[in-house]
């Protein structure tokens, strides 16, 4: 009888906490959307911001966020998966490996503002990449790589030993066993890790203030030559992202409609993250199904 | 003799798991390893396709010749060896792919890409594993939708698809129901006309039913190895007799 009472109380507490969290999330999301949705229009999404007048948009910032995301993931995903494979399958169990694991652990909990400053000192100044998309992408890579490595390592380790041995016993090399037997099984976790990393790219401002910069040059969206300074595709140009833009107009925006723009931009950011999440999950499922013929 | 094992010693770090094993295994026959748990049956089986290489701290002395080649010499390619010496595990472990892809997996990764060729290999392997009739209409279905016994026969087909000459089976029926077990036992008898089969079993009746030769292990040593009938009907060593009459193990 007593066990039952305890069980009931525990269940009630857990349900309450879960309900509270869901409510909080729903309220937050609702607040952002209600405040921002009204301000979103085609014009708002495509036009450039205005410094002093009302009616500015977020076109370049939106593009910058997406482009920076792509650039960062192009660097982060292969490096992270490669290092994760190394850590789980090739690294010997010795002091050096334990040390690397510790570093990865520490790096993954680094405050992003510190990474931003590191990026400013090393990438922007010492390497001379300047305030640029590339600097931003490299800083975000430092920010995200540890998580990617850890997640890949863990997901490979959790592939059943029987699957790995089945591959090896067929005479596949270690590398082929990893790429064609283990990675497909580990894929859902790896995709989830990449989504988390990507979400952090979208939302990150602190690490970008001093690396990708707080301004965006006048972009010419008809110029797709990546070497030209006004081309949106040029990775060496400064690029203010949506998150940085929100921070900037909230703290020093001079346009009379600055609060509305911040609200609209926040809503767009949230929607982008949601869309990206759903899209990546869907893609992960399709790829997984293709690789495994499971229903 | 297709396999010749000469003065083999195996250590897991400092645990001496195989002690001076000398053993010959004839071609196209079924050889069964029996013995109490922990006596080194799986360990010896896994030295034959160098699966122990994946375990850190394993040290091996002595010689294992397969088809006249020293498999632990430096010029032996372990991938080549494992193609020649296939393995079926205790738990059925098909890949999370379709039935067809499971069987076509090895051949594909070894470089065969022509559809007609793969189709032929898949059919032949599934027929050899007596699974063809049950799955020929559902080749695209996930292998995980099959029953345990079917999955194990699929694993046999998958191993056969890379054209091995030796098949190692480590307690491959111990996770299966009696009917599936009988099927795999019958299959083993058929396969030994074309393949050399080395199996580990906990079930002495199974060893007596299907093997040509039986090897009895105790504490990492081969106590007795002879043809199955004489080992079971008049064992030479007292310990063998104790074991098969159920006095220990
Ligand atoms: N990876 C390993 N590291 C250290 N010791 C091991 C390892 N694998 C096996 N051993 C030891 O080697 C001995 C032989 O093990 P093995 O798995 O070959 O026994 P077995 O005869 O197959 O037993 P079972 O019938 O229970 O499968 C056991 O004492 C076991 O504890
Ligand atoms: Mg065993």
Q: Which domains does chain B possess?
A: 3-245 (3.40.50.300)
Fold classification of A38-292 is MetI-like fold (1.10.3720)
Contacts of A158 (CB under 8 A, 6+ apart): A186, A189
Asked whether the beta carbons of A138 and A119 are under 8 A apart, the reply is yes
Mean pLDDT in residue range A100-110:
87
* CB-CB under 8 Å, B98 with A162: no
Q: Concatenated DSSP letters for B30-51?
A: EEEEE-STTSSHHHHHHHHTTG
Distance of CA B162 from the midpoint of ligand 1 (Å): 28
pLDDT in tens, A39-75: 887 877 777 777 777 777 788 888 888 888 889 999 9
Higher-scoring residue by pLDDT: A55, B216: B216
Distance (Å, whole) CA A77 – CA A194: 7
Q: Highest mean pLDDT: which of A57-61, A184-188, B17-21?
A: B17-21
pLDDT in tens, B75-127: 899 999 999 999 999 999 999 889 999 999 999 988 888 999 999 999 999 99
* Residue B172 burial by Cβ neighbours in a 10 Å radius (0-12, 13-18, 19+): buried
Task: Say how many CB pairs under 8 Å bridge A and B.
Answer: 73
Lowest mean pLDDT, pick from A27-31, A220-224, B113-117: A220-224
Helix axis angle, B99-109 to B148-160, nearest 10°: 20
Distance (Å, whole) CA B134 – CA B113: 25
Evaluate if residue B248 carries a pLDDT over 70. Answer: no
- Nearest one of A228, A233, A83, A59 to A151, comparing CA atoms: A83
- Cβ neighbours around B114 below 10 Å, total: 8
* CB-CB under 8 Å, B51 with A169: yes
Higher-scoring residue by pLDDT: A258, A170: A170
| Mean pLDDT, chain A, whole residue set | 85
**Residue B15 host element (H or E):** strand B15-25
In terms of phi and psi (left: phi > 0; alpha: psi -120 to 50; beta: otherwise), the region of A233 is: alpha
pLDDT of residue A295: 45
Could you say which of A172, A185, A293 has the minimum Cβ distance to residue B101? Answer: A293
Ligand 1 lined by B238 (C-beta under 6 Å): no
Higher-scoring residue by pLDDT: A248, B134: B134
Contacts of A168 (CB under 8 A, 6+ apart): A174, A177, B51, B54, B82
Q: Concatenated DSSP letters for B59-86?
A: EEEEEEEETTEETTSTT--HHHHHHHEE
Lowest mean pLDDT, pick from A72-81, A131-140, A232-241, B221-230: A232-241
């Amino acid at each position: 009888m007593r066990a039952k009472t305890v069980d009931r109380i525990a269940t009630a507490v857990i349900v309450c906490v879960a309900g509270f969290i869901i409510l909080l999330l729903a309220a937050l999301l609702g607040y952002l959307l209600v405040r921002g949705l009204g301000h979103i229009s085609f014009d708002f999404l495509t036009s450039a911001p205005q410094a002093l007048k009302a009616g500015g948009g977020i076109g370049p910032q939106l593009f910058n966020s997406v482009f920076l995301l792509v650039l960062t993931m192009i660097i982060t995903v292969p490096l992270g998966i490669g290092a994760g494979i190394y850590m789980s399958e090739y690294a010997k169990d010795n002091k050096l490996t334990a040390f690397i694991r510790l570093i990865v652990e520490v790096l993954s909990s680094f405050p992003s503002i510190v990474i931003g400053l590191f990026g400013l000192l090393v990438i922007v100044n010492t390497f001379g990449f300047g305030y640029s998309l590339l600097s931003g992408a490299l800083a975000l890579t430092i920010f995200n790589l540890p998580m990617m490595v850890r997640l890949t390592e863990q997901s490979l380790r959790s592939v059943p030993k029987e699957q790995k041995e089945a591959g090896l016993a067929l005479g596949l090399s270690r590398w082929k066993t990893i790429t064609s037997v283990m990675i497909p099984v580990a894929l859902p976790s790896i995709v989830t890790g990449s989504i988390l990393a990507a979400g952090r790219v979208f939302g990150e401002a602190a690490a970008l203030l001093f690396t990708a910069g707080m301004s965006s040059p006048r972009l010419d969206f008809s110029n797709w030559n990546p070497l030209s300074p006004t081309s949106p595709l040029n990775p060496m140009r400064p690029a203010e992202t949506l998150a940085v833009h929100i921070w900037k107009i909230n703290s020093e925006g001079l346009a009379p409609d600055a609060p509305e723009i911040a609200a609209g931009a926040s809503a767009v950011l949230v929607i982008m993250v949601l869309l990206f999440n759903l899209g990546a999950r869907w893609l992960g499922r399709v790829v997984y199904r293709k690789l495994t013929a499971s229903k | 003799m297709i396999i010749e094992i000469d003065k083999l010693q195996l250590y897991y770090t400092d645990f001496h798991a195989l002690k001076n094993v000398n053993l010959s295994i004839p071609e196209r026959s079924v050889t069964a390893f029996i013995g109490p748990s922990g006596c080194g049956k799986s360990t010896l089986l896994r030295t034959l396709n160098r699966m122990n290489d994946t375990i850190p701290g394993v040290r091996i002395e002595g010689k294992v010749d397969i088809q006249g080649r020293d498999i632990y010499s430096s010029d032996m390619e372990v991938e080549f060896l494992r193609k020649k010496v296939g393995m079926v595990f205790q738990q059925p472990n098909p890949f999370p792919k379709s039935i067809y892809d499971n069987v076509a997996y090895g051949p594909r990764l070894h470089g065969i890409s022509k559809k007609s060729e793969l189709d032929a290999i898949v059919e032949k392997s599934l027929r050899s594993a007596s699974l063809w009739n049950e799955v020929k209409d559902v080749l695209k279905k996930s292998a995980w939708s099959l029953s345990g016994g079917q999955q194990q026969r699929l694993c046999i087909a998958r191993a056969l698809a890379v054209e091995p000459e030796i098949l190692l089976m480590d307690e491959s029926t111990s996770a299966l129901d009696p009917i599936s077990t009988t099927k795999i036992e019958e299959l083993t008898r058929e396969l030994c006309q074309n393949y050399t089969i080395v199996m580990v079993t906990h079930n002495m009746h199974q060893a007596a039913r299907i093997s040509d030769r039986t090897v009895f292990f105790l504490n990492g040593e081969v106590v007795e190895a002879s043809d199955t009938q004489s080992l079971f009907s008049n064992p030479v060593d007292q310990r063998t007799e104790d074991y098969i009459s159920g006095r220990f193990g």
